[in-house]
Each structure stands twice: as structure tokens, then as C-alpha cells.
Amino acid sequence: MPPPRKGVVERFINGFCRCFGVNVLGAAHVETCNNVRETFGKFKQTTHKLQRLKCAFTLAEVLITLGVIGIVAALTLPTLVANYRNKVLLNQAKNSYSKLANALTMVRVHNGYDNFEDFLHKDLTNDQMLEIIVKELKTIKVCKQGKSGCTNVIRKAHKKTYNNGETSGNDYKWGASAILADGSFIVVDNFTNQRQSGCHWVNSYPKRDEAGNIVKDENGNEIIIDRPDNRCGHIIVDVNGDKGPNQGGADTFDLGIYPGNVLPNYETFLYNDQLNYENYEIGEKYE
């Protein structure tokens, strides 16, 4: 586009100058000045309108935005909260395992046991087992077997386990147990049933179907399953006491005491940093 002729430019400059009180000769320049003033006035009004349009939101737009934010939060927040809780429980599980494994090592050192078979012999009661172990731990309360007071909740299994058609839990209320200084709860059990010597024994229990009903043979006798086991005993630990979720694989773990070491039973958190449990409620019916 070619530049405007010099006369047009000069008329615009003269008109513009006159608008601001500069001495410009000729009535034509007064008209130009008025035109410039009117043009600039319209431009200013349009600019203000555009600024208001750019900076403001209607009520509908605000509500829609808040609604979208609420939906996104509703979809993501539960997952974030669950992941954070699992991370906390995972760290507590590792700390509890380390603390209890170290305590059992000290039991061997301080008592001169070559292995845990020497410690958990078949005549050792659960109360005696607990008494020896808690000497290596800081405790708040110790509850002998048959005396409640260390826990008041039923703890769920890792996954749905049915008993006569509905899910059931594990009640450790009457076991030989203790509350540790860090708030965790432990209950101990020396596997003396059916043991002949050492830590090698047979775990016998009735066979059950998927709904948890006992399976019987054609003569009406219970079918018994015999499973070899080489654990000397175990410690159940709930890393945060009676606080939720009170479930195996989440905050409650089974630490098996074998002849030479202590390992979490049914758990993988030491190897893959993952908790292993299924969300469900006690009392759910088999479908």
C-alpha cells in the first residue's frame, strides 16, 4: 500500500495539533481537529469495552469452571489420598518389620540361642514367648493370653475369606499381646500344636468350598487338609494399633519366625514396595 500524500499527512498533523491548543491557521483545521477528537473518543470507548470483555467472566462461566474443577477433584482426590495413605502404611510396615526382626535377633544373642528352634521349643507358652521378646522392645502395655486390653477391633484378612457364607475377621483380643511405644500392636503365637520336634509340623484344617462351608465326603466326614509347615511361630503386627484400616496386607502383617530368620508371610512389600489387600467389609455375603 503506497504511503499517504504529504498534504494528507500535514492536514492530520495540523488538526491533531490544534486539538491540543497549538496555533494552527484555517477553519478547515478546526473541523479536522473535531473529527480527530470524535474518532479518538470512539476509539477510547471501544477500548474500554474490550478491556471489560477481556477481564470479566459471566456467572455462568464461573459456575461451569467451578463445576469442572469439582469433577476433576472428585475423580482424582480419592486416589491421591489412598496413595498417600498406602505410602505411610508401607513405611510403617518396613519400620515394624525391621524393629521386630532386630528384637528377635537380640533374643538369640542375649540368650545364647543358635536358632529360633532353640527359642521357640514346644513347651514354651505364648506368655513366656511374649515376655522374652518385649524385653528387647519399648512397650506401653503387655496383655497375657486370655486377658483383654491391648486391642478391641476385628482385623480383616487380605482378601475376602468366607466362613459359612459370609466374610469373617481375625480376633486377637485374647492373645498374648502388647502395645509398643510407637503405637503398634503385636500378638505372638508359638506353634506348638502337632509339633513333634523342632519347627517342622503339619497344619491340619477342614476343607472349605468357595462360600466357606466345610466340605464333607460321601460318608459325611469332614475332609481334612494337611499342610507341612516349618515355622516355629509367628508375630502378628498392626503397625498403627487399632486405627484403620485394620486389614492384613494394609496395616496388619504376619511375620513368620523360621528356624534361621524372620520373614513376612504372604507379603511382598520388602521386595516391590507394594501393599497387597482387597477392599471389602466384614460380614459381606457370598454371592
Residue type at position 250:
A
Backbone φ and ψ for 281, nearest 5 degrees, come out as: -120, 145
Output Rg (C-alpha) for the chain, integer angstroms. 39
Cβ neighbors of 136 (< 8 A, separation 6 or more) are: 102, 103, 104, 106, 107, 110
pLDDT score, position 247: 95
pLDDT score, position 249: 93
Residue type at position 227:
R
pLDDT score, position 192: 77
pLDDT score, position 287: 82
pLDDT score, position 61: 79
Q: Considering Cα of 262, then 265, then 269, then 271, what sign does the dihedral take?
A: positive
214 DSSP assignment? B
Quote the crossing angle between the two packed helices 27-55 and 6-19, to the nearest 10°. Answer: 80
Residues 143, 188: Cα–Cα separation, whole Å: 11
Question: Could you tell me where the beta strands, DSSP code E, fall in 144-230?
Answer: 154-156, 162-163, 166-167, 169-171, 176-180, 185-190, 201-206, 224-229
Cβ neighbors of 269 (< 8 A, separation 6 or more) are: 90, 93, 94, 275, 276
Cis upstream peptide for 259 (omega within 30°): no
pLDDT score, position 24: 47
pLDDT score, position 201: 85
3-state class of 285 per DSSP? strand
Q: How far is CA 177 from CA 36, 69, 141, in A?
A: 93, 48, 9
DSSP-derived secondary structure for 103-157: HHHHHHHHHT-SSHHHHS-TT--HHHHHHHHHTTS-EEEEE-TT---S---EEE-
Q: For the chain, what is the largest distance between any 2 Cα atoms, rounded to a whole number of angstroms?
A: 128
**Which residues pair with residue 264 across a beta bridge?**
255
Residues 61, 47: Cα–Cα separation, whole Å: 23
Q: Which residues of the chain have pLDDT under 70?
A: 1-56, 193-197
